Amino acid sequence: MGDFNDLLHQSEKRSRAPHPPWCITGFGDAVADCGLQDMPFSGYQYTWVRSRGRSNMAEEKLDRILVTEDWRTMFAETTSCSLPCVYSDHIPLLLTPIVAVNGVRRKRFLFDNMWLREDRCREIVAHSWERTRGQDVLHRIEICGRDIWRWGKSYNRDFKRRIDQCKLRLERLQSRYDQGSVAAYEQAERDYIAVLEQQHYFWKQRAKEHWYKGEIAIVGISIIQ
């Protein structure tokens, strides 16, 4: 799986100049001699681009997944797709096995560091603290934690929706080369990077790599449903 820097078919290239037939034949023979087969993936098929938006633009399917027959049988449920990428001239390929999750997990409150970037989070804390004035401190913290937890569930769902929307915009614009579409693609790239930055903080905390070193609003509140 990766960049093989060659093609199996002429249709895997979009450019003024065709790919050398002897290269296609040689690569195809090498793949067959190794007992491999090309595993299809969904999404955009041209995984490499050069000079986007220019007259000499070229796109090729240089990245692919090659597997053996035994591997396909053993991992028959595996799916694969290409993903948008704004950091490279190649787009990544993703293999996703279907994993069964057994057992029932208890839901508990987990504060996401990226919420600190949202004014709404601070508003919820301030409002909750104000409306419980005069009550026991521990009870106020518990109520405040519940308020943030309810808002956070909705926020995280919206976070995923915004990522999916950015991906969809990039995919729709990826094959358009007029000036307006190129400009829209560049804007979609910027939006995607901004959302990915939030995703970075989200998973950074999930992996427990580091904790936010700035102001922490609430720590150690557990909510069991």
What are the φ and ψ backbone dihedral angles of 62, each rounded to 5 degrees? -90, -25
Together in a domain, 7 and 90: yes
- Domain, as residue range, for 81: 2-96
Together in a domain, 91 and 8: yes
On the 0-12 / 13-18 / 19+ scale of CB atoms within 10 A, 141 is middle
From first to last of its 225 residues, the chain has per-residue pLDDT tens of 888 989 999 999 988 888 999 999 999 999 988 889 998 999 889 998 888 778 788 899 999 999 888 888 888 888 899 888 877 889 899 888 764 445 555 556 667 776 777 788 888 889 988 888 888 888 888 888 888 888 877 776 667 778 888 888 888 888 887 888 888 888 888 888 877 777 777 666 666 544 444 444 444 443 333
Together in a domain, 92 and 7: yes
Distance between CA 50 and CA 141 in Å, rounded?
A: 55
The total of structural domains in the chain comes to: 2
Together in a domain, 59 and 143: no
Domain boundary among 64, 96, 128: 96
Together in a domain, 28 and 89: yes
Cβ pair 170, 189 in contact under 8 A: yes
Torsion sign, CA atoms 83, 89, 46, 12:
negative
Together in a domain, 200 and 147: yes
Closest CA to 144 of 158, 127, 120: 127
Residue 149 included in any domain: yes
CA distances to 64, 83, 178, 198 from 7, in Å: 9, 20, 27, 36
Say what the pLDDT of residue 25 is.
92
The whole-model pTM stands at 0.48
Domain boundary among 96, 128, 149: 96
